[in-house]
Amino acid sequence: MRRSSQSGIRGCLATLAPTLLAAATAATSPHAATTAIEDLARLNARAHADRESGNTHDRVRCVLEIERLLNGAPTAVRAAARVYAEDGDIANALAALASYARLGQSDAGLLAGNDPLFSPLAQQPRYQAILRQLAANGEPVMRAERAMLLSDAGLLAEDIDYDSGSDSFLVTSVLEKKIVRVARDGRVIDFAPSPSRWPVLAIKVDAARRRVWATEVAMSGFDMVPAGEQGRSALLSFDLATGALESRVQAPDGAELGDLVLAREGQPVVSDGAGGGIYRLSGDRLERIDHGEFISPQTPVAHPDGRHLIVPDYARGIGVLDLQTLELTWLASSRRHALYGIDGLYLHGKTLIATQNGSSPERVMLFEINRSLSRIQSELIIERATPSLGSPTHGVEVGSFFYYIANSGWDQLDEHGHLKKGGRLTPAVLMRFRPPG
């Protein structure tokens, strides 16, 4: 749900580099005085003041702190390289750029020579090697195959789940503000509208209870939503057979509930990608279960042990939340591909499948996780930088295949939900990949 607010999620990351990555803190304790989002504001103000005063020395210290607090996110590493270069520290600038390239990133600006701060590095052999690595990171990779083309190009398809009873997919639509049923041949028919006429984002099918859970979100900054309603959201349930609305639970003010998972006994757990919260449904109300450590949590994964919730944070990586103690730890990367910018996250055995529409380039990945849920052991690219990938969103496992939405259309919209100049919506593609094991 990184796009429940273009300015609040993906837009937030897009503005980090110019503002020296005014980002959040590392995991705070359950009794921390501030939340990660509050720390983000504090660091943003400090970075801006250092920039305005020309205090490069303190800017270096600030950006290194931010890099550490963001768990080495590529945007932070690149920002560190820029500050080092501005300070004339060529050795550390090159070291930071090398780390950036090792995180699997590409960078059109660097490859085109558009950043004058790096001009003094241009003649360095190491810099040229870094550029070659960045270019290689942007080469297309394809291990998936096309399953179907969705017939309605105007949907802006966001999330997807599978209804085994009808052998069809249920897909949420942002622009048409509804849920649709998609047959195996790609035909689209309406399932249920948003009761509030807001974009519909997350969806999960509870086959045992013949129920569908979804979220509707009045996305902040989107002109398609009345200004007085923006920033509101709700958790919905529908009858799986008829699409009739069964319940609607209003979210707390300011919470934009964009992604969800069903825990044991079908209990919905939803994430607020704009406000940083994780909520679970308790009776007829939503209770918050995190302690403010997240900036932009996305699709949670309910671990089969019933105790752990694996939560990708668009800005900070992948967190593991202990549902008994409510303590949070961060998954360590193997340092080959960054764990930030993940929208959809799913578990197949001991393998996490991630749609990374916030990485550069956008990609779909496999990350093998160790038994203690503490680090990534290996990874595999499913799809990267192909002409058909566009902006991938979410997926679902059906039988031996993992299906995911490609070419969703998000990359064709501006921050207000309008088509960009020259932009055009084309039918989303449902891709599929057979995970190993």
Q: Are 233 and 215 in contact (CB under 8 A)?
A: yes
Long-range contacts of 284-291 (CB under 8 A, 24+ apart): 284/247, 284/249, 285/249, 286/235, 286/249, 286/251, 286/252, 286/257, 288/252, 289/321, 289/323, 289/326, 290/321, 290/326, 290/328, 291/28, 291/29, 291/30, 291/32, 291/35, 291/326, 291/328
| Res 30 pLDDT > 90 | no
Q: What is the pLDDT of residue 1?
A: 62
Q: Are 213 and 257 in contact (CB under 8 A)?
A: no
Q: What is the pLDDT of residue 64?
A: 87
CATH among 1.20.140.10, 2.120.10.30, 3.10.290.20, 2.20.25.10 for 141-433? 2.120.10.30
The stretch 1-15 carries a mean pLDDT of: 39
Of 181, 148, 147, residue with least CA distance to 167: 181
Q: For tokens 């059109």, name the residue.
A: 108
In angstroms, how far is the first alpha carbon of the chain from the final one?
29
Task: Write out pLDDT tens, residues 287-338.
Answer: 999 999 999 999 999 999 999 999 999 999 999 999 999 999 999 876 688 9
**Where, residue-wise, is CATH 2.120.10.30 in the chain?**
141-433
Task: Write out pLDDT tens, residues 206-256.
Answer: 999 999 999 999 999 998 899 999 999 999 999 999 999 999 999 998 899
Q: Which residues contact 425 (CB under 8 A, 6 or more apart)?
A: 153, 154, 156, 409, 412, 419
The 10 Å CB-count burial string (b at 16+, else e) for 28-57 is beeeeeebbbbbbeebbebbeebbeeeebe
| Res 13 pLDDT > 80 | no
Q: For tokens 């069809």, name the residue.
A: 168
Q: Which residues contact 23 (CB under 8 A, 6 or more apart)?
A: 16, 40, 43, 44, 66, 69, 70, 73, 75, 76, 295, 315
Of 238, 244, 278, residue with least CA distance to 259: 278
Kindly tell me the sign of the dihedral angle through the C-alpha atoms of 201, 369, 66, 341. negative
CA–CA separation, 217 vs 5, rounded Å? 9
Q: What is the pLDDT of residue 28?
A: 36
Return mean pLDDT, the chain.
90
Q: Which residues contact 100 (CB under 8 A, 6 or more apart)?
A: 74, 77, 78, 81, 107, 130, 134
| Res 29 pLDDT > 60 | no
Token pair for 135:
């270019």
Q: How far is CA 39 from CA 23, 66, 293, 295, in A?
A: 7, 10, 10, 10
Task: Write out pLDDT tens, residues 388-412.
Answer: 999 999 999 999 999 999 999 999 9
| Res 6 pLDDT > 50 | no
Q: What is the pLDDT of residue 135?
A: 97
Task: Write out pLDDT tens, residues 120-137.
Answer: 999 999 999 999 999 999
CA–CA separation, 228 vs 216, rounded Å? 16
Residue 347 pairs in a beta bridge with 352
Task: Write out pLDDT tens, residues 160-191.
Answer: 999 999 999 999 999 999 999 999 988 999 99
Token pair for 250:
């209003």
Q: Are 37 and 28 in contact (CB under 8 A)?
A: no
Token pair for 249:
């639970």
Is this model's pTM higher than 0.85 or not?
Answer: yes
Order of strands across the sheet that contains 268-272: 257-262, 268-272, 278-282, 285-288
Q: In the CATH hierarchy, which top-level class contains the domain 10-137?
A: mainly alpha
The stretch 150-155 carries a mean pLDDT of: 94
**Where, residue-wise, is CATH 1.25.40 in the chain?**
10-137
Task: Write out pLDDT tens, residues 58-95.
Answer: 888 888 888 888 889 999 999 999 999 998 999 999 99
- Higher pLDDT: 19 or 95? It is 95
How is the chain split among helix, strand and coil, in percent rounded to 5? 25, 35, 45
Q: Are 333 and 370 in contact (CB under 8 A)?
A: no
